[in-house]
Amino acid sequence: MHMRMRTVGASGLKVSAIGLGSLTWGGQTDSREARSMVRHFVDAGGNLVDTAPAYGGGFAEQLIGKLIHTDIRRDDLVIATKAGFVVEGNKRVVDTSRSALLRDLEGSLRRLHTDHVDLWQVHAWGDAPIEETCAALDYAVQAGMARYVGVSNFVGWQSATAATWQRADGARIPLVSNQVEYSLLARRAEIEVAPSAQHHGMGLLAWSALGRGVLGGRYRHGTPKDSRGGSDRLSWFVDPYLTRKSSAVVEAIVKAADGLGATVPQIALAWVRDAPVVSSALVGPRTTSQLEELLGTDDVVLPTEITSALDDITGGPNLARDTA
């Protein structure tokens, strides 16, 4: 199989239009299941695997590091990881200083058993001066530890500030991407983040393209025990989306899916994948069968009328559609 590929923003980095996220690895997804998913993903023509030191306390990176020496070739993957964010006990700590970022990167490379990552992302906006944060990105590329650099969870002015700083001097490495939450239940990125990315030649990597799992349709009749919403550790993540409004959105997607002979998550994922400025839609399935269903999205083409109807139901037209 061959999945559609895209370049990220104005760069030469090529990624699959659907990316595989590893947030649940080591928690709700054990190594056997994660290994099976990566193999299926690569067989289907996918290459972008997104991870972070914080996922499973390093477990996700370690597993990818094993797989590129046993199951797949290093060159089969575009490995995207992050730095500057750790979970200490119940606290989330952001540290975007040069020392913290480079320490994180060295740890990632050790766990990933590779000498470079393909895309290295600042996990969140921090208190360190942006010049210092960006200098660490430049250093990583110049030292051969990262091929491309981007940011994650930056709002519009933050990504524009960082991108402008990088472009102000030809010796600095341009930012290629901003990874933000974006789905039919979370369209805020369209207001400032997407236009900022487009203006600066950056692509969006959309995390939680399925609305933190809610757009998979699994919560239509309650919260399944084995879901994130049913887990003590991750229910905080899903709860904000278990609302009457999101139920109405899911029912609208059900109608579209029936009409197009596709499944609910496939429609929700195709909508994100084909939105303006999106380079790749990231999904975090917990099982290989969930992943198989999502990979089937490659054959799904949303007619313009369906796209517009879904836009209307979830907050109105996407103003970038006509200009993209």
What gap in Å lies between CA 215 and CA 293, rounded to an integer? 13
What gap in Å lies between CA 276 and CA 100, rounded to an integer? 34
For residue 182, indicate whether it is catalytic: no
Q: What 8-state DSSP symbol labels residue 182? A: -
CA angle 92–54–142, rounded 5-degree value? 110
CA angle 182–183–185, rounded 5-degree value? 115
- Catalytically annotated residue among 55, 182, 219, 241: 55
What gap in Å lies between CA 40 and CA 150, rounded to an integer? 27
Cβ neighbours for 150, distance < 8 A, ≥ 6 positions apart: 8, 119, 120, 121, 122, 175, 176, 177, 178, 179, 202, 205
**Residue 80 is inside which H or E element, if any?**
strand 78-83
Residues designated as active site: 55
